[in-house]
């Protein structure tokens, strides 16, 4: 009998790849989305990459909302595990932190409660490196799964807070209900080749540099990982019961934004890709008008390392190199953008 998995937020960049990999691995996928009108978008995205066309018959959909109870109990019927990827991910920070925090926290708890009510005990939660690395750290420090973001730290954005508080709420729920078996996957910036043009915010940074949207590049850094590896980690967590109760950092390496720009410029020398590092005084002025610039100000010049060896040793993940992932992203963006 085919095992059926509930995959929340199935229209997302990461989730579409997970849906494809689940189907190719022989699972049935029930994908949640806010509007059933987007079901064909997901089918069209995975169809060209399906190994066996019959697998598409194992892809179904259900309408769910992170902020409402309607449909969640019904969505759990016949489910063996939940992969909860759904969470708001904006390019710019909202006016109120609660606009991100409440849907993220409430959505995670809603999924967990509905799963427990249905007797579904296996949960894989897509968290983020944002829930790991925003804390007081020395320059060049190494972070791993033992680290947690301090939501009051100056580097913690509304998004960082939402991912941290949602993951903590999930672990607290599991502590109160020990029959639940939770694994979290904590990706950095997710790059690589999307399955369709609806890739949302994830590739926004690389796209912004590639299209020459800015005259200079802010000197901030972040961990980066390929979407193929992120998806593989979700499937490995699902297949390996020993991963329950653990967090897994997903990062191929920490890279500064100017280095991303240099990699792109080297590969596309004829494009107007800025590589000059933006001076701090200019960024402070731009931040008055551009919230996306404002959000990186506290992290300027900050370099860290990420120890993702747990994923390598316990899941046998061989991370795609950062440079390869960036160039794969750029190649796709070049194929779909006219600028």
Check residue 209 and give its pLDDT. Answer: 93
Q: Which of 87, 172, 99 is nearest to 130 (CA)?
A: 87
Cα(195)–Cα(13) distance, rounded to whole angstroms? 8
Q: What average pLDDT does range 91-99 have in this prediction?
A: 68
pLDDT mean over 238-251? 98
Residue 310 CB burial class (10 angstroms; 0-12, 13-18, ≥19): middle
Tokens 């915010």 locate to 201
| Close Cβ partners of 333 (under 8 Å, ≥ 6 residues apart) | 203, 206, 207, 210, 211
> 27 φ, ψ to 5°?
-85, 155
- For residue 126, give both structure tokens: 């897509």
- Helix residue ranges per DSSP H, 211-315: 227-239, 257-267, 280-287, 291-294, 309-315
> In the predicted model, what is the mean pLDDT of the chain?
93
Q: How many CA atoms lie within 13 A of 189 on its CB side?
A: 23
Please report which helix (H) or strand (E) contains residue 289, including its range: none
Coil/strand/helix, residue 88: coil
> Do the beta carbons of residue 244 and residue 184 sit within 8 Å?
no
Longest dimension (CA), the chain: 62
Instruction: Determine the pLDDT at residue 138.
Output: 93
CB atoms within 10 A of CB 331: 13
What is the structure's pLDDT at 12? 95
If one compares 99 and 179, the residue with the highest pLDDT of the two is: 179
Confidence of residue 290 (pLDDT cuts 50, 70, 90): confident
Indicate the pLDDT class of residue 201, thresholds 50, 70 and 90.
confident
| 85: pLDDT strictly greater than 80 | yes
Q: What is the DSSP letter of 279?
A: P
Tell me how far apart the alpha carbons of residues 331 and 163 are, in angstroms, rounded to a whole number: 30
Task: Locate 310 and state its tokens.
Answer: 């747990």
pLDDT classification of 200: cutoffs 50, 70, 90: confident
pLDDT of residue 188: 97
Least trusted range by pLDDT, from 23-32, 248-257, 293-302, 321-330: 293-302
Compute φ and ψ for 31, nearest 5 degrees.
Answer: -95, 135
Quote the tokens at residue 161.
């807070």
Cα separation of 122 and 27, whole Å? 15
Model-level pTM?
0.94
Would you state the pLDDT for residue 94? 59
- 9-60: pLDDT as tens digits: 999 999 999 999 999 999 999 999 999 999 999 999 999 999 999 999 999 9
Q: Is the pLDDT of residue 238 over 80?
A: yes
């Amino acid at each position: 009998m085919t095992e059926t998995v509930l995959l929340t937020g199935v229209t997302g960049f990461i989730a579409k790849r997970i849906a494809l990999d689940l189907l190719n691995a022989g699972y049935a996928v029930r994908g949640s989305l806010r509007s059933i009108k987007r079901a064909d978008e997901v089918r069209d995205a995975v169809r060209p990459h399906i190994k066996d066309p019959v697998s598409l018959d194992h892809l179904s959909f259900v309408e769910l909302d992170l902020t409402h109870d309607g449909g969640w109990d019904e969505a759990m019927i016949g489910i063996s595990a939940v992969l909860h990827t759904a969470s708001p991910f904006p390019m710019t920070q909202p006016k109120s932190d609660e606009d991100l925090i409440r849907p993220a926290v409430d959505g995670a708890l809603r999924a967990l409660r509905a799963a427990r009510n249905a007797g579904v005990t296996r949960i894989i939660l897509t968290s983020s490196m944002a829930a790991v690395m925003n804390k007081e750290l020395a320059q060049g420090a190494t972070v791993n799964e033992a680290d947690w973001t301090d939501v009051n730290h100056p580097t913690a954005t509304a998004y960082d807070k939402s991912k941290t508080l949602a993951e903590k709420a999930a672990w607290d729920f599991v502590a109160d209900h020990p029959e639940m078996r939770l694994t979290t996957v904590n990706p950095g910036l997710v790059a690589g080749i999307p399955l369709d043009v609806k890739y949302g915010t994830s590739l926004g940074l690389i796209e912004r540099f590639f299209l020459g949207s800015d005259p200079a590049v802010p000197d901030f850094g972040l961990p980066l990982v390929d979407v193929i590896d992120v998806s593989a980690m979700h499937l490995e967590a699902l297949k390996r019961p020993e991963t329950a109760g653990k967090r897994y950092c997903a990062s191929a390496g920490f890279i500064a934004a100017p280095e991303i720009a240099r990699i792109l410029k080297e590969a596309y020398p004829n494009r107007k890709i800025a590589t000059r590092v933006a001076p701090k005084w200019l960024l402070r002025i731009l931040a008055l008008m551009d919230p996306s610039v404002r959000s990186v100000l506290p992290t300027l010049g900050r370099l860290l390392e990420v120890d993702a060896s747990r994923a390598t040793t316990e899941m046998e993940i061989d991370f795609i190199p950062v440079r390869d992932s960036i160039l794969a992203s750029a190649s796709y963006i070049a194929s779909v953008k006219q600028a």
